[in-house]
């Protein structure tokens, strides 16, 4: 095997470079995977979230095993795998209480060197905690949604949805579409998508929204009441990372309902609530950072069962040579959902952006 590989490296939002990087060396309990495809995540456009620069972009890869350490027994060359980029551990206070992703250990475990590169290394802990052989019934493109929409799965588990509840989703980008699409699997009745883009709202209908509202054109509270027999939503999920969106979302929650924060605000951003209303409205506020091994396991089983329209969420495909163009599209966040980069070339028949 060659010593060097191509990787897409982040220096700034408008500065993505294709560089030659060493192909990682593996230990005896590790594996090397060839990157078949990697999705781009909107979280990568939050400059404040970057822990280090420069860094290889992408954390949603699907890979094929090309090298196996001598102590690895459960996998072989040629296996097609999903391996979560972060993985937790069992033996910590936070993990024992179910907060695997908030244990500092979780964020320290990473794929080496990232996703948008030709090859990546996975550690023994990755293989122990959250690695999955993919059946032929799950396409590589559908599998790219495992990491991000497992985060959706994680969030929905804490949304307190009861059978028949009305659910509203504020923000209908790729992650918002996931909440729209998967909420019915948790028992939602009416599912209302809100966004300023009519294009995204039309896509939300395809993913299961029973109603759509464009707050730019109509009063969102009045429109929601009109669609829901005079009531607000039992659960409101806000994906848009702005205080205005959070305020809009809170105004849409029925008494006794749940407000789920599906994306963070930038650090040092105040979010103020009326203290009297916070007491009497009995609204639960939930959040969930990333996904753990239980979420990916749930999602993969639903995907294999054909309950999720994952392939329909792929909107654009790029070769690694065009990774900067792909990232620019991600930043603009206009008429796109899941953007995939192919480090070894876009397969024939997959289509081009």
For position 51, what pLDDT does the model report? 67
> Using an 8 Å Cβ cutoff, are 113 and 56 in contact?
yes
Kindly report the CATH number assigned to the domain that includes residue 82.
Answer: 3.90.180.10
**Co-location of 280 and 295 in the same domain:** no
For position 181, what pLDDT does the model report? 98
Q: Where are the beta strands (DSSP E) in the chain?
A: 4-12, 15-22, 31-39, 55-56, 60-68, 80-83, 119-122, 131-133, 167-170, 191-194, 211-213, 233-238, 253-261, 284-287, 314-319, 338-342
Query: Could you tell me the two tokens for 343?
Result: 């480090």
For position 215, what pLDDT does the model report? 98
**Co-location of 12 and 51 in the same domain:** yes
**Co-location of 167 and 266 in the same domain:** yes
Q: Does residue 348 lie within any of the structural domains?
A: no
**Co-location of 77 and 204 in the same domain:** no
**Co-location of 218 and 200 in the same domain:** yes
Give the predicted TM-score (pTM) of the model: 0.96
**Co-location of 301 and 283 in the same domain:** no
Kindly report the CATH number assigned to the domain that includes residue 261.
Answer: 3.40.50.720
The alpha carbon of 305 is separated from its chain's Cα centroid by a whole number of angstroms, namely 20
Name the 3-class secondary structure at 117.
strand
The DSSP result for 265-329, as a single string, is PPTT------HHHHHHT--EEEE--S--HHHHHHHHHHHHTT----GGGEEEEEEGGGHHHHHHH
Q: Does residue 325 lie within any of the structural domains?
A: yes
Non-local CB neighbours of 230 within 8 Å, separated by 6+ positions: none
For position 257, what pLDDT does the model report? 98
For position 47, what pLDDT does the model report? 81
For position 2, what pLDDT does the model report? 85
**Co-location of 36 and 94 in the same domain:** yes
Last residue of one domain, picked from the residues 241, 262, 287:
287
Q: Does residue 353 lie within any of the structural domains?
A: no
Name the 3-class secondary structure at 123.
coil
DSSP state of 26: -
For position 49, what pLDDT does the model report? 78
For position 349, what pLDDT does the model report? 75
**Co-location of 116 and 198 in the same domain:** no
For the segment 65-103, what is each residue's pLDDT rounded down to a tens digit?
Answer: 999 999 999 999 999 999 999 999 999 999 999 999 999
> Which residues, given as ranges, of the chain have pLDDT below 70?
50-51, 351-353
For position 353, what pLDDT does the model report? 40
Query: Could you tell me the two tokens for 152?
Result: 């959706």
* Residue range(s) defining the domain that contains residue 250: 158-287
Q: Does residue 17 lie within any of the structural domains?
A: yes
Distance CA 334, CA 319 (A): 20
Question: How many domains are contained in the chain?
Answer: 2
For position 348, what pLDDT does the model report? 86
**Co-location of 245 and 165 in the same domain:** yes
Distance CA 335, CA 98 (A): 37
**Co-location of 41 and 141 in the same domain:** yes
């Amino acid at each position: 095997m060659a010593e060097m590989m191509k990787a897409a490296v982040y220096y700034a939002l408008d500065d993505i470079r294709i560089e030659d990087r060493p192909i990682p060396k593996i230990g005896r309990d590790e594996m090397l995977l060839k990157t078949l495809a990697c999705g781009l995540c909107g979280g990568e456009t939050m400059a404040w979230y970057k822990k280090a620069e420069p860094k290889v972009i992408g954390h949603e890869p699907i890979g094929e095993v090309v090298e196996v350490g001598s102590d690895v027994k459960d996998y072989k060359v040629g296996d097609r795998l999903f391996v979560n980029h972060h993985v937790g551990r069992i033996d910590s206070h936070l993990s024992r209480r179910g907060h695997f992703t908030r244990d500092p250990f979780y964020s320290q475990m990473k794929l080496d060197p990232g996703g948008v590169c030709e090859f990546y290394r996975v550690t023994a802990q990755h293989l122990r905690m959250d690695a999955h052989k993919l059946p032929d019934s799950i396409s590589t493109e559908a599998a790219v949604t495992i990491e991000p929409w497992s985060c959706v799965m994680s969030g929905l588990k804490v949304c307190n949805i009861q059978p028949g509840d009305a659910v509203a989703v504020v923000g209908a980008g790729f992650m918002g579409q996931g909440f729209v699409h998967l909420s019915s699997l948790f028992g939602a009745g009416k599912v209302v998508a809100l966004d300023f883009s009519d294009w995204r709202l039309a896509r939300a209908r395809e993913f299961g929204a029973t109603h759509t509202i464009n707050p730019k054109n109509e009063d969102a509270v009045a429109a929601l009441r009109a669609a829901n027999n005079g009531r607000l939503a039992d659960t409101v999920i806000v994906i848009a990372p702005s205080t205005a969106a959070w305020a809009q979302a809170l105004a849409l929650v029925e008494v006794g309902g749940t407000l789920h924060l599906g994306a963070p605000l930038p650090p040092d951003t105040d979010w103020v609530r009326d203290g009297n209303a916070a007491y009497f409205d009995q609204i639960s506020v939930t959040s969930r950072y990333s996904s753990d091994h239980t979420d990916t396991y749930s999602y993969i089983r639903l995907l294999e069962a054909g309950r999720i329209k994952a392939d329909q969420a792929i909107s654009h495909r790029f070769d690694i040579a065009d990774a900067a163009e792909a990232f620019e599209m991600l930043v603009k966040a206009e008429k796109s959902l899941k953007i995939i980069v192919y480090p070894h070339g876009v397969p024939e028949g997959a289509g081009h952006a």
